[in-house]
Amino acid sequence: MLPLGVSLIWGTCGMTRWKLLAVLCALVGLTGACASLRGSETAVGDVEALRPKAAEVTDKMVANDWKAVRADFDETMAKGLAEDGLANAWAQVVQLKGAYVSRGEPTQVPKPGQHLVFDTPMTFEKGDMKSRITFHADGRIAGLFILVPEAT
């Protein structure tokens, strides 16, 4: 059973193959982050300053350094997603996708609103995933996800 604040969303691809869409986020924070992302304003902040931060957060997840992953969470994320929730969700991703192998470079995902969003490709033994990290303009983390590569 997943702790409160962590979701695993499953879907089918055909009748026999399961696809994993693991989402690491505070459930209460997702509502606020998604509402902001649907806004009409252009994302603000320094894209080039946050791109390496997206890579660093992904690397910290891989290293199981949950305290460091949470260090830049905004208040909603910090309240909704504890270290054990991150650890449990990551363990389930690894259980289903195999050992982590490598990552690519983060790319910005164009989204309307007040946040900057980066996807970082991740390779596991049994297939690819991507981390998606949503930042406030000041660098605080508003959303943290592990998604199948084709997720938009």
How many structural domains are present in the chain? 1
What's the pTM value of the predicted model, to 2 decimals? 0.74
- Is 1 inside a domain boundary? no
- Is 152 inside a domain boundary? no
Q: pLDDT per residue over 41-100, tens digit each? A: 334 568 899 999 999 999 999 999 999 999 999 999 999 999 999 999 999 999 999 999
132 has pLDDT over 70: yes
Q: What is the Cα–Cα distance from 140 to 68, expressed in whole angstroms?
A: 13
pLDDT at 4: 33
- Is 32 inside a domain boundary? yes
* Sequence-distant (≥ 6) Cβ neighbours of residue 59 within 8 angstroms: 103
Q: What is the Cα–Cα distance from 47 to 2, expressed in whole angstroms?
A: 33
Q: What is the Cα–Cα distance from 42 to 115, expressed in whole angstroms?
A: 8
Q: Taking the CA atoms of 98, 106, 53 and 76 in sequence, report the sign of the dihedral they define.
A: negative
CATH code for the domain in which residue 135 is found: 3.10.450.590
Q: pLDDT per residue over 120-130, tens digit each? A: 999 999 999 99
Give the domain range for residue 119.
6-147
